[in-house]
Amino acid sequence: MEQAGVPVSPGTRNPVTDVAVAVIEAERIGYPVMVKAAGGGGGIGMGAAADEAGLRAAFETARSRAERFFGSPAILVERYVERARHVEVQILGLADGRVLALGERDCSVQRRHQKVAEETPSPGVSAGLREQMLAAAVQAGEAVGYRGAGTVECLVDADAGSFVFLEMNTRLQVEHPVTELVTGIDLVEQQFLIAAGEPPSFDPGAVRPAGHALELRIYAEDPVRFLPSPGTITEWDEPAGEGVRVDAGYQAGNTVTPFYDPLLAKLCVHAPTGRRPLSARARRWPPSASPGPRPTWRSTRTCSPARRFVSGDYDTSL
């Protein structure tokens, strides 16, 4: 990515398996640093360190979890951004070789380093920074000859107003509906067309994202401690209306087991005039009946009207 002109965070370019090497690299990079698994994602094993003692402890934790979850103890060390926003760019590599950027998504609302709410456009990205990020995402896709739907994930330094490349997910993301809502483009359809060598069903030169979209993930988790909450769903009543979309895989009578991802549904809302109408639409999700799974709808409903979230001045610490 560096060779393609994409900004990359100061850090190790090759995985580290020895804590002594990690200490040397951290001195070169400068504290604070972040350690994370080289062989997987999802925030598993990630940890920040402000000094050598903290690094040694975080490294051992990350290495143990990386080996357990991903079968590899390899660790990456990079500079830690204290006020960070997690912002990603949706790209589409067309069959004719062109790479398009379809706007960004702000994924900074997280628990355990995993996304809970996503919105577009990002309220923390200026027009100038957005232009730079979209251009860098296209460069990243072109550098690898990418075809299909992909996501270029970035870390934005909220204080410096700069960004660096994190990784590229070579698939459709859970949060792709927010991009579909503001562009009117069916990304799944485009994947089939690209795979068949066909042109897209839209004019690539006329893509103009409109309005604001928000996605809230509804998990079968305790809304306070975010622990799994399996059980049988006794009621399932989806909200509906203008600007409301629900992607779900459950209905009343289904049992949520503890063996798989606890995601129940995605509540997606769109407003043509900006962020403010989104909160009212997002609060349409009704409480789940008891007994049964305890969904995170309470947590996400709390997030929507929260002062920091509504102001747009938030980061991954929200």
Whether residues 30 and 96 fall in one domain = no
Instruction: Looking at the structure, tell me whether residues 221 and 300 fall in a common domain.
Output: yes
* The residue to which tokens 């940890």 are assigned: 47
Residues 6+ apart with CB under 8 A from 201: 185, 186, 189, 190, 193
Closest CA relative to residue 94, chosen from 138, 154, 152? 138
Mean pLDDT of 127-141: 97
User: Domain for residue 65, yes or no?
Assistant: yes
Regarding whether 269 and 129 lie in a shared domain, the answer is yes
The residue from 28, 56, 79 where one domain ends is 79
* Nearest one of 217, 244, 227 to 115, comparing CA atoms: 217
The three-point CA angle 281-286-287 to 5° equals 140
DSSP secondary-structure letter at 268?
E
283 is catalytic: no
Q: What is the pLDDT of residue 290?
A: 39
For residue 212, tell me if it sits in a domain.
yes
Q: Are residues 37 and 183 in the same domain?
A: no
Per-residue pLDDT of 218-242, as tens digits, reads 888 877 777 778 888 888 888 888 8
Contacts of 57 (CB under 8 A, 6+ apart): 47, 49
Domain end: 61, 79, 97, which one? 79
Residue 195: partners with Cβ closer than 8 Å, 6 or more residues away: 148
Same domain, 206 and 140: yes
What pLDDT is attached to residue 220? 86
Question: Could you report the per-residue pLDDT of 22-76, keeping only the tens digit for each?
Answer: 999 999 999 999 999 988 777 787 899 999 999 999 999 999 999 999 999 999 9
Q: What is d(CA 184, CA 90) in angstroms, rounded to the nearest whole number?
A: 14
Residue 285 in any domain: the answer is: yes
pLDDT at res. 283: 59
**pLDDT (tens digit, 9 = 90+) per residue, 193-206?**
999 999 999 999 99
Does residue 11 fall inside a structural domain? no
How much is the pLDDT for 301? 54
Position 52 scores a pLDDT of 97
- Asked, for residue 10, whether it belongs to a domain, the answer is no
Q: How far is CA 93 from CA 15, 88, 121, 171, 184, in A?
A: 29, 16, 21, 11, 18
Same domain, 95 and 27: no
For the chain, state the CA radius of gyration.
20
Q: Is the pLDDT of residue 291 over 50?
A: no
pLDDT of residue 176 exceeding 90, the answer is yes
> Does the structure show a pLDDT above 80 at 274?
no
Say which of 28, 98, 112, 171 is annotated catalytic: 171
* Nearest CA among 17, 98, 26, 101 for reference residue 60: 17
Which residues constitute the domain of residue 61?
19-79
